[in-house]
Amino acid sequence: MRISDILNESRTFFDVPGKNKQELIVNIVERAAKASNEIKNVKKFTQEVLEREALGSTGIGDEVAIPHARTENVNQLLMAFARAKEPIDFEAEDGLPVRLIFLMGVPIKELKSYLNILAKLSRVIKIQKVRDVLSQTNNPKEVIEIIKLAEDGLIT
């Protein structure tokens, strides 16, 4: 499974508002729910993502966060990309505020697929050119394309 198999243009959002990470996560989940019917219960899923975030920051550094939840409230592995309107403190490992967010909803039974995608995403977002494009573009198609190029090893 590839990142580009589960992230699509309809779940790619730019300039998402939020005064803090909780508000930003709520706004991303709401947009993802409107863009697809993969989230069974938006309120419960949002709460699960926020509860997971409270256990420890999903800010992984380089202005990137991967808030997520293992849940029964998604129909299948779900990913959305969002760029925050303003950098938000996510208590990231490197202390930098976050602007690039990959939200994931993971069905309980799909742990192996989730770990596989998470490993791929971690490799892809370490590539500076990928982060540069994600930080600058307003075109969902470009988001998907740069991720595909990175997955295919065509940029490093």
* pLDDT (0 to 100) of residue 89: 95
Q: What is the mean pLDDT of the chain?
A: 94
In angstroms, the CA 58 to CA 52 distance is: 9
Amino acid code (one letter) for 87: P
Q: State yes or no: is 68 an active-site residue.
A: yes
Q: What is the pLDDT confidence band of residue 36, given thresholds at 50, 70 and 90?
A: confident
Q: Domain ranges in the chain?
A: 3-151
* pLDDT (0 to 100) of residue 156: 82
Higher pLDDT, 45 or 112: 45
Question: Could you tell me which residues come within 8 angstroms of residue 42 by beta carbon, excluding any fewer than 6 positions away?
Answer: 29, 30, 33
Res. 23: pLDDT tops 90: yes
* pLDDT (0 to 100) of residue 55: 93
Q: Hey, what are 155's tokens?
A: 């940029």
Concatenating the DSSP letter of every residue in the chain gives --HHHH--GGGEEEEE--SSHHHHHHHHHHHHHHH-S-BS-HHHHHHHHHHHHHHS--EEETTEE--EEEESSBSS-EEEEEEEEEEE----TTSPPEEEEEEEEEEGGGHHHHHHHHHHHHHHTTSHHHHHHHHH---HHHHHHHHHHHHTTS--
Count of Cβ atoms closer than 10 Å to residue 37 Cβ: 8
> Which of 68, 83, 99, 131 is flagged as catalytic?
68
Res. 109: pLDDT tops 90: no
Domain 3-151 has CATH 3.40.930.10: yes
* pLDDT (0 to 100) of residue 3: 94
Percent of the chain with pLDDT over 70: 100
pTM across the whole model: 0.95
Convert the pLDDT of each residue in 38-97 to its tens digit: 999 999 999 999 999 999 999 999 999 999 999 999 999 999 999 999 999 999 989 999
